[in-house]
Amino acid sequence: MIALVVSDADEHMTKTVEHTQADFSSVRTGRAAPALVEHLRVDYYGTETELRQLAGFSVPEARLLVISPYDKGALGSIEKAIQSSDLGITPSNDGTVIRLTFPIPTEERRKELVKVVKHKAEEGRVAVRNQRRAARQELEGLQKDGELSSDELERVEKDLDRITQEHVAAIDKLLAHKEQELLEI
């Protein structure tokens, strides 16, 4: 039962780190990346569909993203979805593909984006710590029920703290990488 609580907490923390990484990939760095648009919802013949199901993506240059729809009839809907998104980029449509040219962000904008990324990282750290707290409460419940001695509880809590620190360090590493990516010109 103890191992189950710890492994469950570890699994939830790992998912939190993955979610934080996905959040980071949605922050625009000035470089073209399919992750910025692949989750956009497009009105495709009356059905809300993710863009990644409707088109292929390629990045021929660092600041250019080319979206090639599988169905050329969806070009207008895709273009409309991109324009109404919060990307702030105007798509160019040549009748077969949509091109998105990403401008170089100003220094002020890059610093703003770093703040956004730091906030997302802090949310991830808080989520990891909340999972540690939930696991501790479960373990303390086991101790009250007599299934766990106080020495065992102390040992398992140290393991839990070590796992938590590893996951927080992973988030910090992701943050440092994203910050560097945002600040380079």
Considering the domain architecture, whether residues 87 and 112 belong to the same structural domain is answered as no
Domain with 75 in it: what CATH number?
3.30.1360.40
Nearest partner of 30 among 75, 61, 72, judged by Cα: 61
Considering the domain architecture, whether residues 97 and 112 belong to the same structural domain is answered as no
- Picking from 80, 101, 122, the residue at the C-terminal end of a domain is 101
- Whole-model pTM: value is 0.71
**Domain enclosing residue 73, as ranges:** 34-101
Task: Report whether 91 contacts 99 (CB < 8 A).
Answer: yes
Nearest partner of 67 among 104, 25, 33, judged by Cα: 33
For position 185, what pLDDT does the model report?
Answer: 60
Considering the domain architecture, whether residues 45 and 111 belong to the same structural domain is answered as no
For position 159, what pLDDT does the model report?
Answer: 92
For position 168, what pLDDT does the model report?
Answer: 96
pLDDT per residue as tens digits for the range 103-127: 887 888 888 888 989 999 999 999 9
Considering the domain architecture, whether residues 50 and 97 belong to the same structural domain is answered as yes
Q: Which residues of the chain have pLDDT under 50?
A: none
- Picking from 57, 83, 101, the residue at the C-terminal end of a domain is 101
Nearest partner of 124 among 10, 7, 19, judged by Cα: 19
